[in-house]
Amino acid sequence: MRIPRAIVDEMVAHAREEAPNECCGIVGARDGQAARLFRARNRLASPLRYDIHPGDMMRILEELDSQAMSPGIIYHSHTRSEPVPSQTDISLANPLFPDVLYVIVGVAGDEPDVRAWHIAGGRCSEAAYTVV
């Protein structure tokens, strides 16, 4: 997946704005390129977990459809730990989107750490992405 620098920067900004709670959102993609970031509300408003607000999920999916994009990235932040999927993250990965990248924005340290993951069937592996 190719991700424009502006989208990476927006994910980091969103993570910092929502801290100490986790942020979340979806990035629409076309042809292997991240195209547009959609912020969502964390229904749980928690520093330990996230759940994309159902109303936001519906709005985002409708907008993606109207713009001929698909969900390319589901992102959230870790404000107190490494940007590695927790068991909760793995268990809650959405089976409706088996090809989506899960991006975790780590903002526990001075510098953000942004990592991507493939999560499916209870397993995860780190995924490569290119910032363009």
Strand 130-131 and strand 2-3: the pairing is parallel
CATH code (residue 57): 3.40.140.10
pLDDT for res 130 = 97
pLDDT for res 61 = 97
Query: Would you say residue 6 has pLDDT above 90?
Result: yes
Q: 3-state class of 32 per DSSP?
A: coil
Using CA atoms, how far apart are residues 63 and 27, in angstroms rounded to an integer? 11
Give the chain's domain count: 1
- pTM confidence score: 0.96
Using CA atoms, how far apart are residues 71 and 110, in angstroms rounded to an integer? 30
What stretches of 22-99 show up as alpha helix (H) in DSSP? 54-66, 87-91
- Look up the domain containing 18 and give its range: 2-131
